Structure 1
């Protein structure tokens, strides 16, 4: 690591009218900073090719009163990260990787200060909470129809009430990620042990058969611990070779600052998995191929167009209801056996899309939107 920091005059020349984007993360005593390094390198390369100065900035080094900050740049020749003195960013892109880091009081305080500071434009200030997402989407007539029945998982009585209406439920941690901690319940009224609870474990699931609600509740509590959960109506998703699939949409703002679809992929559930997430054994597939298999080619094309329009509609509503400045989100949408569209999940820190055409476009969009934000900020400052 190079700590010979140049003085300010050296990089004033370097800046010369270029936009500056800082990728915000959390410091780490062992490896300098946390986060997906290969993603950060891709972002730096893309940003530089589009005329940006891009660097990784830790919360500790984000000093709102300074005109220059210590940030990490990637040295290609040495395959090493180096500390440099760099211009204060026009745009801050929040990529703090873990929820537990982001909710730390000192981190939240710094992010809140950024949101109020006139010099700073920070987008995607926080991870989403699943319950909040469904609350926000229920507020609008246009997005409400896409929401499965969703309740907080609070008592055995409440769960029993929900199971009388829906014999198939998903239980999800409010703050879950990549399918971790998900359970399903199916009710088989005619069986001696009518309640079947499936618990996701890595790439497979474990099944428990319970005689009554109280035994089911005890098992759920043992599994969930003190974590807050939601219970949600299970949807009978369209399937391919007896394996359910859903659609994964990436929605980002474009160079005009408007929500736009970057791409849609599809994920097929693992053989014995209750989720379609790739880390849990899910597989990547072409969405049109899967939809055409379940329906027909004409309907598949229509459903894909509907999925794109729905994703943009939902992104707009989430941003409006959350009161946050957002620039991107990934989204899980499902199509049931009748061809109805459902919303399951949105993530404000999208993971890398494996589809190369979506991946490249997603990187470019960050800087197209960054340029829009920087331009808007300059115009506002000029008009004051």
Structure 2
């Protein structure tokens, strides 16, 4: 982690900044900036030789620096000292409840903002209604001293997209905000959008480095596609292209001996069902009567590792760090509920660490395989997807021969795996890296903007 400095506000009205000597050495600095606001000031080395940057009350008001004592990074470019980064987290779904300003997601955001001091960044949450375009300011939600408060701050150095769902992502008003901040104000915007399963598959299929991880996946076009894939693999999965949380997934199994078809799925009451049919036609008439099949994909079934009789898949989180490098930040095993088509907790699934279900040698081997696959897939998606990606959640499987398979990649991964007590530490790491990546983006935007905005 790069060095950061405590920012302190002195009770005077001088346009003077006191800095550690190492910041000023051999440099001519004429302005100080915070987010999009800057002011001309004089710089002097701190007389007590301490690692902090001291600004006056007058400077604080001019650059709209919150009245916090917090460690931040210092970036110097074009004779300007930038303190930050100031990170705006863009979302929707705000409420008028002071203790729950972002509804049910308030706890998630309070935990996300709690990494500020560790990372050396100042992050806040905002929506489109909090922007004052004329003044170039935002009424941001800060979580400080275990409480929420709103403070007017300048436009941030970078923006982290945490829109909650595809509906908000497609909202024309929110799309306009993103386009304007990105294109007019040149603010780097990371993790935009939700992944489409078929688009991701087709992108990765072009990269020979990762094709070994891809189960055959086809758009639903006809029953003959399903018949062919069932004959080839014995069972398949039918999934919504834009689904999430395991909703709408069906497993179709063909029993060659009896000629029967089975369908495993979760009904509208969230009850796990397994039904038998004499023909594929009957199965679709019964199970898919009210579903838009053109919005579905068909995916090769994999014979996965099992814990007793229950299949196992793995959630692997990857994040970019403050140097822009991909890291695996969390790995957990998810065990399917009895009779369930997915490993989600809602369907009776359990979350375990690798050490809980495998002997040490096996756990180490699977950890290495999952890590290698997730890093390769992250780099491949990063190279081929438009926009800046800072984190990905992968659902990976390992078959009985030890091969790794990609089932899904999520641009805004859920966090249910972190309910496991052994994963609290990596829960913090994923949140820390989510904000630490903003340090890298801020530096890039100042020093190498051509790389970000090409």
TM-score, scaled relative to structure 2: 0.75
Equivalences for 1:287-326 in 2 at 5 Å? 287-292=354-359, 297-326=360-389
1:328 lines up with 2:396 in the alignment: no
8 Å CA contact 1:203–1:272 kept in 2: the answer is no
In structure 1, distance between residues paired with 2:182 and 2:337: 41
Q: After alignment, is 152-161 or 56-65 more displaced? A: 56-65
Q: After alignment, is 332-341 or 218-227 more displaced? A: 218-227
Aligned to 1:10: 61
1:74 lines up with 2:143 in the alignment: yes
Q: 1:127 to 1:301 in 2, by over 3 A?
A: same
8 Å CA contact 1:34–1:96 kept in 2: the answer is no
In structure 2, distance between residues paired with 1:76 and 1:45: 9
How big is each residue's C-alpha offset from its partner over 1:75-127, in whole Å with a ceiling of 9 and x where there is no partner?
A: 656x4x44321121111111111111112222233323344345311101101
- Give the CA deviation at 1:259: 1.0
Q: Could you tell me which of 68, 81, 87 is aligned with 1:21?
A: 87
TM-score, scaled relative to structure 1: 0.88
Aligned to 2:156: 89
Q: 1:166 to 1:76 in 2, by over 3 A?
A: same
- Give the CA deviation at 1:279: 2.8
Aligned to 1:207: 274
- Give the CA deviation at 1:50: 3.2
Q: 1:114 to 1:68 in 2, by over 3 A?
A: closer
8 Å CA contact 2:136–2:155 kept in 1: the answer is yes
In structure 2, distance between residues paired with 1:223 and 1:244: 29
Q: 1:343 to 1:375 in 2, by over 3 A?
A: same
SS of alignment partner, residue 232 of structure 1? strand
- Give the CA deviation at 1:8: 10
Aligned to 1:197: 263
How big is each residue's C-alpha offset from its partner over 1:329-354, in whole Å with a ceiling of 9 and x where there is no partner?
A: 11111111111111111111122241
In structure 2, distance between residues paired with 1:236 and 1:127: 28
Which of 1 and 2 has higher RCO (CA within 8 Å, sep 6+)?
1
Please tell me the root mean square deviation across aligned C-alpha atoms, in Å.
Answer: 2.7
In structure 1, distance between residues paired with 2:320 and 2:450: 24
8 Å CA contact 1:8–1:68 kept in 2: the answer is no
- Give the CA deviation at 1:364: 1.3
1:148 lines up with 2:215 in the alignment: yes
Computing the radius of gyration from Cα coordinates, the structure with the larger value is 2
Aligned to 2:121: 52
SS of alignment partner, residue 10 of structure 1? helix
Q: 1:222 to 1:63 in 2, by over 3 A?
A: farther
Q: 1:243 to 1:382 in 2, by over 3 A?
A: closer
Equivalences for 1:1-384 in 2 at 5 Å? 10=61, 12=63, 14=65, 17-28=83-94, 33=102, 36-62=105-131, 66-74=135-143, 76=145, 79=147, 81-191=148-258, 194-201=260-267, 204-222=271-289, 224-225=291-292, 228-292=295-359, 297-352=360-415, 353-354=417-418, 355-380=423-448
In structure 2, distance between residues paired with 1:303 and 1:180: 27
In structure 2, distance between residues paired with 1:11 and 1:19: 17
Q: 1:44 to 1:209 in 2, by over 3 A?
A: same
SS of alignment partner, residue 55 of structure 1? strand
In structure 2, distance between residues paired with 1:119 and 1:65: 17
SS of alignment partner, residue 263 of structure 1? strand
In structure 1, distance between residues paired with 2:84 and 2:213: 42
Q: Which runs of 5+ in 2 are unaligned?
A: 1-57, 67-81
Q: How many residues align?
A: 371
8 Å CA contact 1:273–1:281 kept in 2: the answer is yes
8 Å CA contact 2:121–2:436 kept in 1: the answer is no
- Give the CA deviation at 1:19: 1.4
SS of alignment partner, residue 333 of structure 2? strand
Q: After alignment, is 373-382 or 226-235 more displaced? A: 373-382
Q: 1:84 to 1:168 in 2, by over 3 A?
A: same
In structure 2, distance between residues paired with 1:8 and 1:120: 23
8 Å CA contact 1:128–1:175 kept in 2: the answer is yes
Q: Which runs of 5+ in 1 are unaligned?
A: 1-6
SS of alignment partner, residue 186 of structure 1? strand
SS of alignment partner, residue 339 of structure 1? coil
